[in-house]
Amino acid sequence: GAGVSQSPSNKVTEKGKDVELRCDPISGHTALYWYRQSLGQGLEFLIYFQGNSAPDKSGLPSDRFSAERTGGSVSTLTIQRTQQEDSAVYLCASSRRTGTGGYEQYFGPGTRLTVT
Amino acid sequence: GNSVTQMEGPVTLSEEAFLTINCTYTATGYPSLFWYVQYPGEGLQLLLKATKADDKGSNKGFEATYRKETTSFHLEKGSVQVSDSAVYFCALLKAAGNKLTFGGGTRVLVKP
């Protein structure tokens, strides 16, 4: 079946511009996550959506970062006024959120963001 | 808070050698433990998991046992192949939480 998809695969932007990154989770998965993978920081959690509950935004590094999930499916991560330190691979994952343990998360291919 | 520590790489091996990547964790309660693999140019893939103490996860010849007494989840493979060259990430998920906490990753290079 189709996996998690992300677009664009690569994005180069100038410092100070806004960018939007898109994630399409696996059909039927109710939980959606954003992570960031960078050389200096490794893999970091950013934000988590589960159904209609309020998202867990505890990993967002600044108020320039925001995300929304429309209709319980597609999600968009927005970075405003991009800075060079925002350069990273942004990963989206989804899970079925089973009732006990597991909570296996399946990752998309990522969006490589380069801020010049 | 939660944390995962894994051995730094790169680990360079010859084909058919035995591979061990150490992983230890710090967490309250009883987390689930995972190994993810990232092949060159590809995304993260779930390799195996264990959800409670003494569980053994296995896949593609890799194994890891959830050891609560030593808070460890070491990854092993008896005979590696060139195709196992990748970066391996150990991760934990708290039972009551949602975010994965990852180790720093270990790059493995298998030479023919």
| pLDDT tens sequence across B11-56 | 999 999 999 999 999 998 888 999 999 998 888 999 999 988 999 9
Q: CA nearest B10: which of B77, B104, B100?
A: B104
**Would you call B105 and A42 a contact, using CB atoms and an 8 Å cutoff?**
yes
Q: CA nearest A93: which of A39, A45, A42?
A: A45
Q: Mean of the pLDDT values across residues A18-27? A: 96
- Looking from the CA of B9 toward its CB, the CA atoms found within 13 Å total 21
Nearest-CA residue of chain A relative to B39? A109
Counting one residue from A and one from B, how many pairs have CB atoms under 8 Å apart? 54
Q: CA nearest B88: which of B105, B76, B103?
A: B105
* Amino acid letter, residue B31: P
Measured between CA atoms, how close is B72 to chain A, in angstroms?
A: 17
The closest CB to that of B43, out of A42, A59, A110, belongs to: A110
Measured between CA atoms, how close is A45 to chain B, in angstroms?
A: 6
**Would you call A107 and B45 a contact, using CB atoms and an 8 Å cutoff?**
yes
Mean residue pLDDT across chain B: 93
Measured between CA atoms, how close is A79 to chain B, in angstroms?
A: 21
| pLDDT tens sequence across A69-87 | 988 799 999 999 999 999 9
Q: In A, which residues are within 8 Å of B32 by CB distance?
A: 101-103
Residue B65 has pLDDT above 60, yes or no: yes
Q: In B, which residues are within 8 Å of A106 by CB distance?
A: 46
Degrees, nearest 5: CA angle B30-B32-B36: 150
Residue partners of A5: CB distance under 8 A and separation at least 6? A23, A24, A108, A109
Q: What does the pLDDT read at residue A98? A: 57
**Would you call B43 and A101 a contact, using CB atoms and an 8 Å cutoff?**
no
| pLDDT tens sequence across A47-62 | 999 888 889 999 999 9
Question: For testing the chain B interface, which of A36, A104, A105 should be mutated: the one with the most B CBs within 10 Å?
Answer: A105
Range with the poorest average pLDDT among A53-57, B17-21, B70-74, B101-105: A53-57
**Would you call B98 and A33 a contact, using CB atoms and an 8 Å cutoff?**
yes
